[in-house]
A and B are shown apart, each in its own frame.
Chain A
Amino acid sequence: MTTPQERTIMAGDYQVRVFEAGAGEPLLFLHSAGGPGLWTEGIDRLAQHFHVFLPDHPGFGPSPLPDWLTGMDDMVFHYVEVLEALGLQGAVRVAGTSFGGWIAAELAVFHPERVKKLVLIDAAGLRIPEVPMPDIFRLPPQDILPLVFHDLSKAVAVMPKDFGIDTMVQMFHDRSALARLSWNPYLHDPKLRRRLHHAAHIPTLIVWGQQDRLIPPVYAAEYQRLLPLSRISYIDQCGHDPTIEQPEAFAQAVVEFLR
């Protein structure tokens, strides 16, 4: 795997850590709630074809949870500033996993002119009343892993090295940032459903782990229904994060679409 370069940019007055690697057309990759700074094998494979930028979301990783972040609109404005700070003009390829997929969808809705192609990977953001998502805030980490991974042995690669105080405080920090935007309404934006048509003309690929038990595949179909020109690529033997569990199949589908 490549070791990505790490640098710090200023998005407005807010400092952001960004990892990047690869060359060619830029690709903004928005990480999942569990993945600030996590350069997964799937992301690495994308970097063999694109110049991938992986910024930390505000409040995740080393960044403090800012007071101004109270809703997805703030997050969208933040990412417009991130694009500017990265010098990315016009429409850009944007992909996001889970929580990051939700941000990607919101960015496309508010600023369709900034999104050239959109990849939604096991994305949060919608809520189907009949299909609840398990409440990860009331589960200890050991109970969340089986929801996220189809093959638990794949979790080892991304597990923290220890569960000492520093690790637990960092996990609490990241979960706090997630809670700020997704405690209530839980992991979704009730307004997104009605707004998604603003992004309907953007070429969109929906990528979903067939065995995702956190946000089940029926949510892929719901995104597809709301974005009728999009298509879905289901990945078998795969849980909530295809970039970790099935990097090859993931990259194959995504690279072909993004080219």
Chain B
Amino acid sequence: MQSYFFHLMPWSDYPDDFDEKYESSWVTFPNSFYDPVKGAELYNRYLDELEYADTLGYDGICVNEHHQNAYGLMPSPNIIAGMLARRTKNAKIAILGNGLPLRSNPLRIAEEMAMLDVVTRGRVISGFVRGIGCEYFSLDLDPTFSRDIFLEAHDLIVRAWTEPGPFEHLGKHFQYRYVNVWPRPFTKPHPPIWMPSAGSSETIEFAAEHKYPYVSVFTPIANVKRLLSSYRTIAREKFGYEPGPAQLGYAPGMYVSDDDQRAQDEAAEHGRFFLSKAFKIPPHFLIPPGYVTENSLRGFLAGRFSEGAQFPEAIAGSPKTVLERLIADYDFLDGFGYIVVGACPGNSTHEQTTKHMTLFQTEVMPALKKYHEQKTAGRAAAS
């Protein structure tokens, strides 16, 4: 069981009339609300928190990519990863992920990830994503080829990492006369690829086919169960293997503090902020035309009509309470091999965040790890 500490690097200050006046913190929320002096403070604080996660013994620290928004200020996750590369010692640096269709030249991603992998002597995880729908407004990219470009860029990057160059690539979206990436990655055959996802069935199948670790984010636990089972079933029935725990991740909304009352009060405050500000995204921003398959849209609409737009409830409490909940979730999900722990939303303090991440790693994680080891040993013995 591995633990990963994930930072969104959120913006903290919204105008008082945000709720009435602005449709979203994405795409159109004016960047005049960004204050670079405050921004410098936040970037450095957030980097401190990620570095601190390394000293606490998290197995990995995670960054991601979003554009033109107040939700998360890492338009270039590889730059943040570069800053962390020489300031951290042991943790894997997981970029979750690079938005493949968001870069016009996928070889730039192959190069940058290889650089990070070599400098860190193999401490990077290369997540690949498509970017959320808003990205296609913010960068003005045709959403209808998003999946197609993702798949071609993925294949090209893996080839560029693993096959001797120079070679030619004649694809539908990309053509190269000379694919010949320097440096080559440190990790053989290439840095691990992860697939964070919002739950589309096509992504699960792709991840299962390639044995890529899969984790769904912002997903109610009932859906997480459905998605992880679907991964296991597809791996078994379509690709003929049994996925190991390392392939299946869990990313619950979670907040740990000294005692239940305090944790729940603070988590409620964080949750309100997150949902009403950072995550205020109207459906037309989230799902631009052609961004999902009609099959996925059908599933999404059916889910929305039946449950309403549900957001998963956060697990908040003392280390003891959180551990109990996670063990229950572990059993409900038939196990998972890694857990992604989020940093707190933009209205949290540095003290709250460091307390949360410390309590999790020092008081929750050891017991969860032990539980996982007992379970997997038991399973191995039974089979």
Contact = CB atoms under 8 A, between A and B. Distances in A.
B103 to A, nearest CB: 16
Nearest to A186: B140
Interface stretch (B188-196, B216-224, B230-238, B298-306): B298-306
Contacts of B143: 176, 179, 183
Contacts of A178: 289
B294 to A, nearest CB: 5
A161 interface: no
Contacts of B141: 183-184
Given A138-B284, A140-B284, A165-B302, A176 B142 contact: no
B289 A172 contact: yes
B144 A165 contact: no
B69 to A, nearest CB: 14
Chain B interface, DSSP helix/strand/loop, else mixed: helix
Most buried by A among B287, B294, B305: B294
Contacts of B283: 140
A184 B283 CA distance: 20
B39 interface: no
B27 interface: yes
Nearest to A64: B294
Given A138-B28, A139-B284, A184-B140, 5 more contacts: A137-B284, A165-B301, A168-B301, A183-B144, A183-B289
B284 A179 contact: no
A88 interface: no
A166 to B, nearest CB: 9
A169 B297 contact: yes
Nearest to A168: B301
A140 B286 CA distance: 12
B368 to A, nearest CB: 40
B243 interface: no
Nearest to A176: B290
B288 A137 contact: yes
B282 A140 contact: yes
B206 interface: no
Contacts, number: 59
Contacts of B298: 165, 169
Given A168-B301, A169-B301, A176 B144 contact: yes
A192 interface: no
B285 interface: yes
Interface string A180-215: 100110000000000000000000000000000000
A137 B289 contact: yes
> What are the 9 A-B residue pairs with the smallest beta carbon separation, nearest first?
A176-B290, A175-B289, A179-B289, A176-B289, A184-B140, A180-B144, A183-B142, A165-B301, A179-B290
A168 B287 CA distance: 12
A78 interface: no
Interface of B: 27-28, 136-137, 140-145, 148, 172, 282-285, 287-290, 294, 297-298, 301-302, 305
A65 interface: yes
Interface string A72-98: 000000000000000000000000000
A179 B287 CA distance: 12
30 contacts: A65-B144, A67-B172, A137-B137, A137-B288, A138-B137, A138-B284, A138-B285, A140-B282, A140-B283, A140-B284, A165-B298, A165-B302, A165-B305, A168-B297, A169-B297, A169-B298, A172-B287, A172-B297, A173-B294, A175-B289, A176-B143, A176-B144, A178-B289, A179-B142, A179-B144, A180-B142, A180-B144, A183-B136, A183-B141, A184-B140
B305 to A, nearest CB: 7
Chain A interface, DSSP helix/strand/loop, else mixed: helix
A184 B144 CA distance: 11
A178 B28 CA distance: 22
Contacts of B285: 138
Contacts of B301: 165, 168-169
A139 B137 CA distance: 12
B288 A179 contact: yes
Nearest to B140: A184
Contacts of A175: 289-290
Nearest to B172: A67
Nearest to A140: B284
A67 B148 CA distance: 10
B29 to A, nearest CB: 13
A188 B318 CA distance: 57
Interface in A134-151: 137-140
A73 to B, nearest CB: 16
A140 B24 CA distance: 14
A169 B294 contact: yes
B290 A180 contact: yes
A183 B284 contact: no
A180 B145 CA distance: 8
Contacts of B282: 140
A168 B141 CA distance: 23
Most buried by B among A139, A175, A176, A184: A176
Nearest to B283: A140
A165 B301 CA distance: 7
A65 B142 contact: no
Contacts of A67: 148, 172
Contacts of B284: 137-140
Most buried by B among A139, A140, A175, A183: A183
A204 to B, nearest CB: 30
Contacts of B297: 168-169, 172
A52 B366 CA distance: 75
Contacts of B137: 137-138
A41 B33 CA distance: 49
Nearest to B291: A176
